Structure 1
Amino acid sequence: MASASVLSPGDVTPGSVKAAAPLPDIMPPVKARKGLWGYMYRNPAIAIGGTIVLAMILMAIFAPFLGTVDPTALAPARRTREPSAQYWFGTDMLGRDVYSRVVYGARVSLIVGFAVAFFSSVAGLTIGLISGFIRWADNIIMRIMDGLMSIPSILLAIALMALTRGSVGNVILAITVAEIPRVSRLVRGVVLSLREQPYVDAAIASGTRTPVIIWRHILPNTIAPMTVQATYVCASAMIVESILSFIGAGTPPIIPSWGNIMAEGRALWQVKPYIVFFPALFLSVTVLAVNLLGDGLRDALDPRMAKRI
């Protein structure tokens, strides 16, 4: 068989070797989107949900400057007016402007939702960390949480409200107590998986104290799932608050909230549906936006689901 010839350095003369032509680009270069617009492009759920939630927050803060009137002012001569240029959402059976009541009602729902999400997250995180990492405390704490979880959250909130007078603070407290067991159960599951990791075993073997291990190694890894869970708790709290107000066990009727507005308009639902429709629409859009924000955060914080291109 003929062997392949090999060129020696002496055989190479100037001009005898030419560089190959560059290969054509088969795929166009991918331009990474950077900055705020790039982040919104990669996470559309966060962009849409966050924009709507921000709009609701701004609406609640600047309610007095959005063409509203006193939401509690009675005007029997103007009761049950249809939506018009003067009364954008109409008036209720007492002549109060429904538009003003809906705009001011956003304050109650947002305050309740954010407050319940914060307090239940802090309490549930503390309970879940202790229960998940300290074995002897797990059985005691989780049996108490299981007992609370056996009662539907809405029924537990109604029972707690029956023991107190109606106010925004008591509503926040009642819903928070009902949500803590679910948050603590989630954190406990995360901690149980983290406790078996090699770096935790190494910290224990090196003599690191339990509070330090929880603070440095366990807590930072629970922030991401807790952030996502807090958005769902916020949406659930808004719905529960509206249910409590709708059945008369929530905020006092004098305080405009979406649940109170719907409760007052249910008697005229068949003839004046707009009284119930507008607060229900705002409640649905807000809850949907918070859930979209939670879904987007879940995808963004989970490296297995994050979109990098």
Structure 2
Amino acid sequence: MTVSTTSSAVLPPGLVVAPQAPDLLVPVKVRRGVFGFLRNNPTVAIGGTILLILVLIGIFAPVLWTVDPTALAPAKRMRPPSELSWFGTDALGRDVYSRVMFGARVSLTVGLSVALLATLAGLAIGLVSGFVRWADAIIMRIMDGLMSIPPILLAIALMALTRGSVGNVIMAITIAEIPRVSRLVRGVVLSLREQPYVDAAVACGTRTPMIILRHILPNTLAPLLVQATYVCASAMIVEAILSFIGAGTPPTIPSWGNIMAEGRALWQVKPFLVFFPAAFLSITVLAVNLVGDGLRDALDPRMAKNL
């Protein structure tokens, strides 16, 4: 028998209806879309904003009140920061502000390119190594051999075999970063291939490439995306080190590493020669790391926040 709780209903004698219990849980308003994601993850928003500003600086460097970064002006050499030269001039009279603005292009290009190439190559190697058992021992021994060499030394050795250019720097750093990405992907795949849904797909006769594409690959994207941000930050630091020691981009191409290398002999008396490119490099690496930390917190279900 169904009993109505409305006031107009007539209840049988002796029947008491319990009052409706109040809601104990406050309804959660789920914010969707990009702005909702950024509001729920302020670390990603802060780091992404800084990184976006730096990318815009690199793109629009020619119109940001800059001059030719390679133009020599001996009469203006070693001038401190002023309203005519915001970051001062170097030993050859070149405008440091213009060189720093154009140098953002090199660092961001190297960082993003290395992150993309190393992530794609490491993903392919890690998927094959983690799911194909007979290829695991062969591939991982090669990766272990590359990982036994410090990345900066491996990059220096590779650059010694080629001439200095941005493309060669990207390839050298990419080769040094691939083993770390492949190791991460392999570890994730090793845990995923033991899951019941993978066993079910194998029992149904699904081919190995289809299992990797449908069941393994989607579950590796979250940790891979976080790792890509750290690879990007590491690549920018390695590029600055290579340029600083003269093994990276040629001196004709302004980069933050080159600018610091040219000013290191005079930094005690003219600290602005090193301070400004070092500050921009530090801020860029910090922004990338903030994005990586925020993505790790957002994509990890154990640390996810329902705000």
Shift of 1:88: 0.4
CA 187–19 in structure 1, closer or farther in 2 if over 3 Å, else same = closer
Q: Residue 281 of structure 1 aligns to which amino acid in structure 2?
A: A
Deviation readout 1:233-266 (Å, 9 max, x if unpaired) = 0000000000000000000001000000000000
Q: Secondary structure at the match of 2:270?
A: coil
What is the aligned counterpart of 1:247 among 245, 257, 268? 245
In the other structure, the counterpart of 1:227 is 225
Q: Residue 158 of structure 2 aligns to which amino acid in structure 1?
A: L
Deviation readout 1:27-77 (Å, 9 max, x if unpaired) = 977655555543322101100000011111111000011000000000000
Deviation readout 1:65-109 (Å, 9 max, x if unpaired) = 100000000000000000011100000000000000000000000
Q: Residue 227 of structure 1 aligns to which amino acid in structure 2?
A: L
Task: Give runs of aligned pairs for residues 198-237 of structure 1, distance below 5 A.
Answer: 198-237=196-235
What is the aligned counterpart of 2:58 among 39, 57, 60? 60
Task: Give runs of aligned pairs for residues 273-284 of structure 1, distance below 5 A.
Answer: 273-284=271-282
Distance 2:18 2:193 in 1: 59
In the other structure, the counterpart of 1:77 is 75
Q: Residue 240 of structure 2 aligns to which amino acid in structure 1?
A: S
What is the aligned counterpart of 2:103 among 99, 102, 105? 105
Question: Which shows bigger deviation, 291-300 or 240-249?
Answer: 291-300
What is the aligned counterpart of 1:143 among 141, 144, 154? 141
Q: Residue 9 of structure 1 aligns to which amino acid in structure 2?
A: P
CA 42–270 in structure 1, closer or farther in 2 if over 3 Å, else same = same
Shift of 1:9: 2.1
Q: Residue 204 of structure 1 aligns to which amino acid in structure 2?
A: V
Q: Residue 69 of structure 2 aligns to which amino acid in structure 1?
A: P
- Structure 2: tracts of 5 or more residues without a match: 1-10
Q: Residue 106 of structure 1 aligns to which amino acid in structure 2?
A: A
Question: Which shows bigger deviation, 28-37 or 145-154?
Answer: 28-37
Distance 1:236 1:18 in 2: 67
TM-score, normalised relative to structure 1: 0.91
Shift of 1:11: 6.0
What is the aligned counterpart of 2:43 among 42, 45, 48? 45
CA 102–41 in structure 1, closer or farther in 2 if over 3 Å, else same = same
1:175 corresponds to 2:179: no
Distance 1:20 1:231 in 2: 55
Q: Secondary structure at the match of 1:9?
A: coil
- Structure 1: tracts of 5 or more residues without a match: 1-7
Distance 2:62 2:270 in 1: 26
In the other structure, the counterpart of 2:159 is 161
1:128 corresponds to 2:126: yes
Structure label with greater radius of gyration: 1
What is the aligned counterpart of 2:265 among 264, 267, 279? 267
CA 65–138 in structure 1, closer or farther in 2 if over 3 Å, else same = same
Q: Residue 233 of structure 2 aligns to which amino acid in structure 1?
A: A
In the other structure, the counterpart of 2:150 is 152
CA 281–42 in structure 1, closer or farther in 2 if over 3 Å, else same = same
Deviation readout 1:184-217 (Å, 9 max, x if unpaired) = 0000000000010011111111111111111111
In the other structure, the counterpart of 1:86 is 84
Q: Residue 12 of structure 2 aligns to which amino acid in structure 1?
A: P
TM-score, normalised relative to structure 2: 0.92
Question: Which shows bigger deviation, 39-48 or 76-85?
Answer: 39-48
Distance 2:86 2:190 in 1: 54
Distance 1:281 1:70 in 2: 22
In the other structure, the counterpart of 1:3 is none
Q: Secondary structure at the match of 2:239?
A: helix
Q: Secondary structure at the match of 1:70?
A: coil
Distance 2:235 2:223 in 1: 18
Q: Residue 271 of structure 2 aligns to which amino acid in structure 1?
A: P
Q: Secondary structure at the match of 1:227?
A: helix
Q: CA RMSD in A?
A: 2.0
